[in-house]
C-alpha cells in the first residue's frame, strides 16, 4: 500500500463514550464530498481549513492514551482520506494489536466495498462501520447514528454483540477544553439539537467552540 503520511483533521478528542462501544478516542477529519441536508457538522465539509497532522504524530497520540479501547473515525468523510487512515491504523496496531477501529461514512458499505483500493484498504482495517448519508426525516434517536437508513455493521467479531444491544440514543457529551472553552460530541437525538444546545448554553454565558460536533 502506498502510504500517505499526513491527514487533514478538523478536531480530535482523547476520550468519548457516545460514539461507539466503550471509551474511544475520536478523530474528525476535514472535508466531505457529500452534502446531506441538515448535516450537523457543516464546518467539516470544506476540504480546506483543517489542521495537517503527520500519521506518525497521530499514532503516537493514540498509542499513549490510557483507558481507551480504540478510535472512532468521523468527519467530514473518513473515506476521503482512506489511505492515510489505513496507514494510521497499521501504525497503532503495530504497537497496540488489540486497538479497535470504528468509522462513519456517508457512503454505503456496498459502494465502499466495490470502491478504490484505498477505500477497501481502510474497510479491511475496521471493526465497525456506520454507513450511509444522514437523512433528517429518518432521525429517530438511534444509537451512534443520525438516521434510520444508516446501519451499524460489524466487520469483525470484536463488536458482533452490538447488534443485539438496545438501539437507542447514546446521548451527547459536553467537554471543557484546557482553555476553558466547551465542546460537545455525539449524535444529536433530534433534528435542530445543535442549535438548541448552543442557544441554551449561550443564554447561560457559555460559548461552544466553533468546531464542536457529532457525527451524521
Ligand atoms: S452528514 Fe456526514 S456524509 Fe453527510 S454531508 Fe455531513 S459529514 Fe458528509
Whether residue 187 contacts residue 197, with contact meaning beta carbons closer than 8 Å, is answered with no
pLDDT at residue 197, as a whole number? 83
- Residue 67: asked if its preceding bond is cis (omega within 30°), the reply is no
Q: Is the pLDDT of residue 194 over 90?
A: no
Q: Is the pLDDT of residue 215 over 70?
A: no
Q: How far is CA 57 from CA 33, 76, 142, 211, in A?
A: 26, 20, 34, 21
Whether residue 32 contacts residue 42, with contact meaning beta carbons closer than 8 Å, is answered with no
Helices within the chain (DSSP H only): 55-64, 82-95, 109-113, 117-124, 193-203
CA of 97 to the centre of ligand 1 (A): 30
The phi and psi torsions of 208 (rounded to 5 degrees) equal -80, 145
CA distance 216 to 214: 7
Residue 216, ligand 1, Cβ within 6 A: yes
CA of 96 to the centre of ligand 1 (A): 30
CA of 152 to the centre of ligand 1 (A): 16
Copy the grid coordinates of residue 211.
468546531
Encode pLDDT of 115-161 as tens digits: 999 999 999 999 999 999 999 999 989 999 999 999 999 999 999 99
- Residue 53: asked if its preceding bond is cis (omega within 30°), the reply is no
Whether residue 55 contacts residue 7, with contact meaning beta carbons closer than 8 Å, is answered with yes
CA distance 144 to 66: 23
**Which of 67-80 are b and which e, b meaning 16 or more Cβ less than 10 Å from the residue's Cβ?**
ebbbbbbbbbbbbb
Domain definitions of the chain by residue range: 6-169
pLDDT at residue 210, as a whole number? 55
Q: Is the pLDDT of residue 177 over 80?
A: no
pLDDT at residue 170, as a whole number? 95
Whether residue 71 contacts residue 25, with contact meaning beta carbons closer than 8 Å, is answered with yes
CA-nearest residue, atom 4 of ligand 1: 36
Superfamily of domain 6-169: Aldolase class I (3.20.20.70)
Average pLDDT value for the chain: 92
CA-nearest residue, atom 3 of ligand 1: 106
Amino acid at each position: 500500500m502506498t502510504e500517505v503520511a499526513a491527514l487533514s483533521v478538523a478536531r480530535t478528542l482523547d476520550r468519548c463514550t457516545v460514539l461507539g462501544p466503550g471509551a474511544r478516542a475520536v478523530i474528525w477529519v476535514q472535508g466531505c464530498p457529500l452534502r446531506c441536508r441538515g448535516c450537523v457538522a457543516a464546518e467539516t465539509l470544506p476540504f480546506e481549513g483543517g489542521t495537517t497532522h503527520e500519521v506518525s504524530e497521530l499514532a503516537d497520540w493514540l498509542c499513549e492514551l490510557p483507558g481507551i479501547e480504540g478510535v472512532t473515525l468521523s468527519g467530514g468523510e473518513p473515506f476521503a482520506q482512506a489511505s492515510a487512515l489505513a496507514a494510521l491504523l497499521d501504525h497503532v496496531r503495530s504497537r497496540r494489536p488489540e486497538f479497535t477501529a470504528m468509522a462513519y461514512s456517508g457512503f454505503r458499505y456496498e459502494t465502499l466495498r466495490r470502491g478504490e483500493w484505498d477505500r477497501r484498504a481502510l474497510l479491511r482495517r475496521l471493526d465497525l462501520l456506520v454507513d450511509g448519508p444522514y437523512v433528517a426525516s429518518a432521525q429517530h434517536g438511534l444509537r451512534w447514528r443520525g438516521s434510520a437508513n444508516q446501519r451499524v455493521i460489524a466487520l469483525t467479531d470484536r463488536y458482533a454483540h452490538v447488534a443485539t444491544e438496545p438501539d437507542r440514543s447514546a446521548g451527547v457529551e459536553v467537554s471543557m477544553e484546557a482553555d476553558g472553552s466547551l465542546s460537545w460530541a455525539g449524535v444529536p437525538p433530534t433534528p435542530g439539537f445543535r442549535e438548541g444546545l448552543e442557544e441554551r448554553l449561550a443564554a447561560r454565558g457559555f460559548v461552544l467552540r466553533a468546531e464542536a460536533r457529532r457525527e451524521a
